A and B are shown apart, each in its own frame.
Chain A
Amino acid sequence: DAGVIQSPRHEVTEMGQEVTLRCKPISGHDYLFWYRQTMMRGLELLIYFNNNVPIDDSGMPEDRFSAKMPNASFSTLKIQPSEPRDSAVYFCASSFWAGGQDTQYFGPGTRLTVL
């Protein structure tokens, strides 16, 4: 398996523009997580899905952020409009419960820079 795939790997945009981050989870995994990582705040959970349904979006910072999972193999995180403070590395992770243990597998991340 190729692991969790994220695109783009790097995104540079200007304030006010729309940004869409993409994630393909590992096949067969039933949970998908979106995280944001910054030096100041560390790893923050933004939202997670179970079987394509959003379960908890309490970590989404504000209405400018939205996430969708139209099917089991694809999810998007959208920021509209983007602001400089959104600059961070965004990770997608997927997991599957097996043998009493749940392991989250992280993608390589998307480094977002908002100018």
Chain B
Amino acid sequence: QQQVKQSPQSLIVQKGGISIINCAYENTAFDYFPWYQQFPGKGPALLIAIRPDVSEKKEGRFTISFNKSAKQFSLHIMDSQPGDSATYFCAASKGSARQLTFGSGTQLTVLP
């Protein structure tokens, strides 16, 4: 009930391409869905987040698409750059609870 399933495990994209990472959740009480970006040797950092009252949120080249009925959300990286190469984690939390349930991570490699 607390799981967040993330796919794919790894992704290779050409520079300028679109990177898409998907997550699915089970607990309908989840109401906050952030994405974190982690570079090697660093801690994860918040990239973008969404709440279920909207179906899409865009910040620069990064977009979250949210499908409440399917209990799925995805991260789209437009015009992917080599500097975007990192591990991306989706996560979810519910209500006033502050702890996050993380997906398993996607290692993105953007080829120059």
Contacts and interface: CB of A to CB of B under 8 A. Distances in A.
B49 A101 contact: yes
B42 A104 contact: no
Contacts of A102: 32, 93, 98
A107 interface: yes
B98 to A, nearest CB: 5
Contacts of B46: 103-105
A42 B49 contact: no
Interface residues of B, number: 18
Interface string A85-109: 0000001010101000111111111
A102 B34 CA distance: 10
Interface stretch (A11-19, A43-51, A60-68, A73-81): A43-51
Contact of A108 (B42, B89, B98, B104): B42
Given A42-B104, A101-B49, A50 B98 contact: yes
A107 B102 contact: no
B98 A95 contact: yes
A4 interface: yes
Contacts, number: 45
B78 interface: no
B15 to A, nearest CB: 27
Interface residues of A, number: 22
Contacts of B104: 42
Given A43-B102, A48-B98, A4 B32 contact: no
Nearest to A33: B99
A91 B98 contact: no
Contacts of B102: 42-43
Interface in B57-112: 89, 93, 98-100, 102-105
Nearest to A6: B43
A63 B58 CA distance: 44
A45 B101 CA distance: 8
9 contacts: A31-B98, A42-B105, A48-B98, A50-B98, A56-B99, A101-B49, A102-B93, A104-B46, A106-B45
Interface of A: 4, 31, 33, 42-43, 45, 48, 50, 56, 91, 93, 95, 97, 101-109
